[in-house]
Amino acid sequence: MRKRHEVGATLTKRQLKLLLDAPDVTTFIGLRDLALMLTFAHTGIRLSELTSLRVQDVSFDGKGAVNVHC
Q: What percent of the chain has pLDDT over 90?
A: 34
Query: CA Rg, the chain, in Å?
Result: 15
Distance CA 51, CA 34 (A): 15
Asked if residue 64 belongs to a domain, the reply is yes
Asked if residue 55 belongs to a domain, the reply is yes
pTM score, whole prediction: 0.68
> In degrees, to the nearest 5, what angle opens at C-alpha 44 toward C-alphas 51 and 42?
105
Comparing 70 with 67, the larger pLDDT belongs to 67
Asked if residue 49 belongs to a domain, the reply is yes
Point out which residues pair with 68 in neighbouring strands: 58
Q: What is the pLDDT of residue 25?
A: 96
Asked if residue 15 belongs to a domain, the reply is no
Range of the domain at 33: 23-68
Asked if residue 61 belongs to a domain, the reply is yes
Asked if residue 3 belongs to a domain, the reply is no
